[in-house]
């Protein structure tokens, strides 16, 4: 069979498509992103706002079309034999492995789809299932790695193997303690493109300030420098602009890098929330705050004058 794969959105290599590719190639099928006259098509989308685009693409083919991804149906899962196969990393020609060692989370954050999609925390795959023997780097996609009952065993493996690691979904600052901070300090990290700091956390709720400060101090005591940390700040959900600015300033006081994530953001023209937030995100994420005050920056944005750009 001739199998065409289509990745509609997302910056990262699509793990599901890599697994589908591996399964079909094991059957002797021809698989790729540029297959003409396919016998079957798989389309994956992770953002719900692309649903109409996906439907339009699917109508272009006369063959069987499988549509999946979080943006289409959060309940749809790969068959077991495909979910637990070594991904086809040649599909994207990458030199790092990707996978989930656990699924789910203990939190029930109202803005997050993980509780509905994956449920409560559970073990999913051992490292050897997705870790290619030729790769020295691995991206872990666990939604809450440190809450896994096997977190210590996994961190010790990562430390002892010498692998370079990227916790792509970030870690839970509320779960940081002396033991796991010590192990994290002994692990090698690598940054995947825009993930420009070694460890990523989130400060989504204003009320967990003390836990954030405590976690940062524990990491510092373990030997992890503040400049190695980045914190996502969720904006446009249930906080005021003043609370957003407060979190930014506190994080900078602690010496860590903030990164604004706008809830359900589809572009400035479609944004219907506080008009300051898209500009605030750019001011923070582009590090413009290092050369220009917020007041001066926003005043010029409103006048249509773009200054203080790095």
Across 226-247, b (16+ Cβ under 10 Å) vs e yields bebbbbebbbbeebeeeebbeb
Cα(300)–Cα(120) distance, integer angstroms: 46
Q: Over the stretch 91-135, which tens digit does the pLDDT of each residue have?
A: 999 999 999 999 999 999 999 989 899 999 999 999 999 999 999
Evaluate whether 139 touches 98 at the Cβ level (below 8 Å): yes
- Residues of the chain below pLDDT 70: 193-197, 302-310
CA angle 306/260/155 to nearest 5° reads 140
Domain boundaries, given as residue ranges, for the chain:
1-85
pLDDT at 42: 98
Do residues 258 and 229 touch, judged by C-beta distance below 8 A? no
Provide the pLDDT for residue 194. 52
Handedness of CA 230, 142, 185, 180 (dihedral sign): positive
Instruction: Please give the C-alpha separations between residue 241 and each of 124, 210, 248, in angstroms, as whole numbers.
Output: 38, 20, 11
| Distance between CA atoms of residues 225 and 255, nearest Å | 9
């Amino acid at each position: 069979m001739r199998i065409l794969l289509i990745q509609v959105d997302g910056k990262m290599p699509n793990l599901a498509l890599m697994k589908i590719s591996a399964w079909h190639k094991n059957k002797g099928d021809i698989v790729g992103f540029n297959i003409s006259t396919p016998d079957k098509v798989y389309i994956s989308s992770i953002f719900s706002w692309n649903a109409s685009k996906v439907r339009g693409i699917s109508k272009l083919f006369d063959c069987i079309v499988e549509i999946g991804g979080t943006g289409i149906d959060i309940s749809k899962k790969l068959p077991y034999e495909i979910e637990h196969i070594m991904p086809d990393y040649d599909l994207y020609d990458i030199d790092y492995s990707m996978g989930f060692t656990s699924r789910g989370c203990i939190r029930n954050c109202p803005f997050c789809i993980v509780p509905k999609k994956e449920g409560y925390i559970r073990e999913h795959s051992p490292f050897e299932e997705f870790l290619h023997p030729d790769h020295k780097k691995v991206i872990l996609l666990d939604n809450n790695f440190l809450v896994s009952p096997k977190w210590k065993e996994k961190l010790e493996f990562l430390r002892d193997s010498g692998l370079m690691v990227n916790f792509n979904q970030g870690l839970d600052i509320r779960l940081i303690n002396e033991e796991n901070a010590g192990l994290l300090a002994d692990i090698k990290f690598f940054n995947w493109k825009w993930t420009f700091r070694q460890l990523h956390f989130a400060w989504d709720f204003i009320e967990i300030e003390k836990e954030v400060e405590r976690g940062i101090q524990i990491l510092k005591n373990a030997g992890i420098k503040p400049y190695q940390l980045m914190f996502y700040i969720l904006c446009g959900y249930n906080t005021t602009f003043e609370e957003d600015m407060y979190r930014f300033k506190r994080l900078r006081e602690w010496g860590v890098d903030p990164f604004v994530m706008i809830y359900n953001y589809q572009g400035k023209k479609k944004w219907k929330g506080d008009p300051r937030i898209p500009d605030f995100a750019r001011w923070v994420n582009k590090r413009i705050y290092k050369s220009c005050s917020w007041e001066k920056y926003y005043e010029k944005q409103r006048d249509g004058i773009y200054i203080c750009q790095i």
